[in-house]
Amino acid sequence: MSVVALKRAAKESVSGLPRAFWWLWTSTLVNRLGAFVATYTALYLTLERGYSASYAGLVAALHGLGGVVSSLGAGVMADRLGRRPTLLIAQTSTAGSVALLGFMEHPVAIAAVAGLVGMTSNASRPAVQAMMADIVRPEDRVRAFSLNYWAINLGFAISSACAGLVAEYSYLAGFLGEAVLTLVCAVVVFAKLPESRPSRVTTGGTAEPEIGLGTVLRDGRYMGVVGLSFLLALIFMQSSVALPVAMGMDGWSPSDYGLVIALNGVLIVALQIPVTRLIEHRDPQRLLVVSALLAGYGFGLTAFAGSLGVYALTVVVWTLAEIVNSPTQMGLVVRLSPVHGRGRYQGVHTLSWSAAALLAPLMAGYVIDHFGAAWLWASCALIGTVAALGYWLLMRGLPAGPAEPGQHGPAGVPAQRTEPAPAPAPAPAELVPAGPVPAGSPTADPHGGGTSTAGSGTGADPEA
């Protein structure tokens, strides 16, 4: 490909997105640049503080539990208070709790504050994703979520390298540095991003029905998506949970694991945008089925790894699954979410990843200790197959063209217009879709979200 073609492709990848999206994208990048706690907490507790590996695992579990607790509450806040106040509260609270964690010395205090950090840091995700869905046009959401996911991984890759240098100097400096960067994100959101929550209106004299958590939980198709997201999250989490343990048991050093896992970040940074250009307008059902199979069998191949080259090959396979799945899954989430319930719907989706972060270490430890690592990798292949079958069944009959606001979405909740309806014409006029628009998404809303209508990623904590 020529330089001119590369420039044209890059321009097409970033053009047409609103300014508010780029401020949100910038806050995501800055936030991930300061991801010190997620990267080095275990080393901080075992090397700096002298605690056992079991205690470090307990703290990690409490961090994940905090995320589980906050997922639903943050989603409700995003719908009731608005995206902007929720982000401001979550990010300032995260900055304070991360700084506080750096000064804690008693093991009980460290564990308690770690749970608080998990709760506050996870609280911003439903609001970010709902805001991104609000401000980006439906036809651009896959691209927007892909760019946001790219920023997450780019920021995390840079922070991982820099955090290692900071840790050699001072772990406390790392905690305080993350707190400062998170506070910067809060200021950016408050100063540059307008509130994007769609206004509630009364149409035809009938008030819109309230959307509560019960509405989300009764939405069978959406909860199926959440369940499948949980299965894939269980698989992807093994990259940081079981893979280093299994490689260590086979005699590989931590630096060997670091070399192999670094390939994941490099591939995402290099391929996320061009791959998204290839899949942007393809059938999401096929993309999700293929990504689930690649994830399951990518990790399944680890059972046959006997060299670093084979380990690297397995990483390539499941990283491709992550690149395809992330924007596609998030697009589906937005497509199935009513406009005025996006915060709650995103909160429940975030819960799937938080629960996986809590359960994946338990699953990996139990299976490896009682049956061996080969059985864990075989289980990943089986889970991936089940998830692929689930996507194929779940998306049968899903309309190829998403419903326009004003029509009933999959949850059975009308997605209302965000602006006043025009004056009535002599004959009743129907709301006609201007083009393919995800269910429950505004047609002319200048604000967009952190989830794509075609997919989502690791959670991509995968971060996702």
What is the pLDDT, as a whole number, of residue 366?
Answer: 84
Phi, psi dihedrals of residue 113, rounded to the nearest 5°: -70, -30
CA 4 to chain centre: 33
DSSP-based three-state secondary structure for 86: helix
Amino acid, res. 175: F
C-alpha distances (whole Å) from 111 to each of 63, 72, 136 are: 8, 22, 39
Which parts of 104-212 fold into alpha helices (H)?
A: 107-122, 124-135, 141-169, 171-192
pLDDT for residue 302: 94
Q: What's the pLDDT score for residue 38?
A: 65
Q: What is the pLDDT of residues 248-266, one digit of tens each?
A: 888 888 778 878 887 888 8
Which pLDDT value is given to residue 100?
Answer: 93
Give me the residue spans of the domains in the chain. Answer: 18-196+213-394
Nearest to 308 by CA among 263, 358, 242, 360: 263
pLDDT at 208: 58
Q: Which residue has 């009980």 as its token pair?
A: 108
Neighbours of 446 (CB within 10 A): 15
Q: State pLDDT tens for residues 282-326.
A: 888 899 999 999 999 999 999 999 898 999 999 999 999 999 998
Q: What is the pLDDT of residue 201?
A: 57
Burial of 365 (0-12, 13-18, 19+ CB in 10 A): middle
d(CA 215, CA 219): 6
What pLDDT shows up at residue 204?
55
The alpha-carbon radius of gyration of the chain (Å, integer) is: 22
CB 140 within 8 A of CB 14: no
CATH 3.40.50.300 fits 18-196+213-394, yes or no: no
pTM of the model: 0.68
Six-digit token pair at 87?
Answer: 């982000």
**In the prediction, which pLDDT does 314 show?**
95
Predicted confidence at residue 261, as pLDDT, reads: 82
The answer to whether residues 74 and 123 touch, using CB atoms and an 8 Å cutoff, is: yes
Specify whether the CB–CB gap between 354 and 67 falls below 8 A. Answer: yes
What distances in angstroms separate CA 442 from CA 14, 30, 115, 272, 418, one per listed residue?
A: 21, 28, 36, 26, 7
Low-confidence residues in the chain, pLDDT < 50: 401-464
Q: Which residues of 132-143 are buried (b: 16+ CB within 10 A; e: fewer)?
A: bbbbbbbebbbb
Instruction: Return the amino acid letter for 81.
Output: L
Q: At what angle do helices 107-122 and 36-43 cross, to 10 degrees?
A: 160
**Residue 222 burial by Cβ neighbours in a 10 Å radius (0-12, 13-18, 19+):** buried
Task: Using the structure block, give the residue that is written with the tokens 């998170």.
Answer: 182
Q: What is the pLDDT of residues 402-450, one digit of tens each?
A: 443 433 333 333 333 334 444 444 443 333 333 333 333 333 333 333 3
